[in-house]
Amino acid sequence: MSVIGALISTGPVEIFRLILEMASHSDRRTALNLIYVSKMIKQWTEPLLYRTVILTSGTFTVKLFYCLTLRANGAEFFARNIETLVVCRMMPSGFRFSDCIPPEGFLDRLQSFGQYLSDDPAGTATLICRARNLRRAYLCPETEQYDVIRPALSASSITHLAIRGDECVYDLVTCMPNLTHLALDCELDMAQHAHADGNITTPCPELFDKPLRQWEYILIIVGSPMRVEFTPSGSCWDILTRTPVDPRFVWVTRELKSVFDKVSVTEYVAGGPSEGLLYLNANDPTFARHREDREDMWDVIERIVDERRAALTKT
């Protein structure tokens, strides 16, 4: 047994685990070096380092593909460590996302999946089908891709879905029997959703008019308030100011500022007011500006809705 192994075996194991976890969050280079200290520390450190993998370019996705195919234990590494996988860019020419998906049985650990752009909807559907324990997803499919991914979504175990919506998204999300948490991302493509006045309206009115009873928490993310139509005659304004307000709907923004002096943005504090447009310092379901040390927005939303329901019960 090595000196490090002997030290760990005689000391409080949880303290060593906490030290490794702090190192993996605060100094990634140090954490990477820890892998080479001993086999025991490598087994502890790898899941901390690779629990969340965010591929910020198609090149990185290809590198993951080579890791999975060229290394003898590539797929096992994926299955052993990765719980969250986010793909932010399209694949380079000559590659398909389908080529980067591990074989059946090696995605059982995957719980969260995000995909900003997809030129291979069949690959997206394949991953959803193979990830039998997938619970959270962020998807940005084009409308013409809905028919390709709908069968996979309807058979999936996904409970939390964030999606960049359009007028057809309601039919897509209502086919998911296990869905309880739904988020609509209003950071839309200007080229597709801009109007003559340059403003953007919230799509999918059916989502607000006919929310399914099984949806317990409904999150509306306004990425940049100044880009969304919050004028008194705008659709966002109309929906946000409706009465009575459905307590399940929570409106949040990534920016803390007023909008046209009509809609104020309030920074939410636990137990405080939670109506209107809120700013939350938490990781939103789109994986935008994701940080390991921040709270999950879904957890915050659940607290907000539960507080509202409790207040309604008292009145």
Question: Does residue 76 fall inside a structural domain?
Answer: yes
Are 268 and 237 in contact, with CB atoms under 8 Å apart? no
Of the candidates 244, 246, 242, 276, the one whose C-alpha atom is nearest the C-alpha of residue 259 is: 276
> Are 188 and 286 in the same domain?
yes
- Which residues lie closer than 8 Å to 84 by C-beta, 6 or more apart? 51, 52, 53, 110, 111, 112, 113, 114
pLDDT the model gives residue 71: 66
Number of domains in the chain: 3
17-26, 95-104, 123-132: range with highest mean pLDDT: 123-132
pLDDT the model gives residue 194: 38
Q: The domain containing residue 197 runs over which residues?
A: 174-315
pLDDT band at 188 (very low <50, low <70, confident <90, very high): very low
CB count within 10 Å of CB 297 equals: 21
For the chain, the 3-state helix, strand and coil shares in percent, each to the nearest 5, are 40, 15, 45
> Are 148 and 221 in the same domain?
no
Helices 3-10/39-50 angle, 10° precision = 70
Tokens read off for 57:
């370019």
DSSP state of 251: E
> Are 38 and 85 in the same domain?
no
> Are 188 and 289 in the same domain?
yes
Q: Which pTM does this prediction carry? A: 0.81
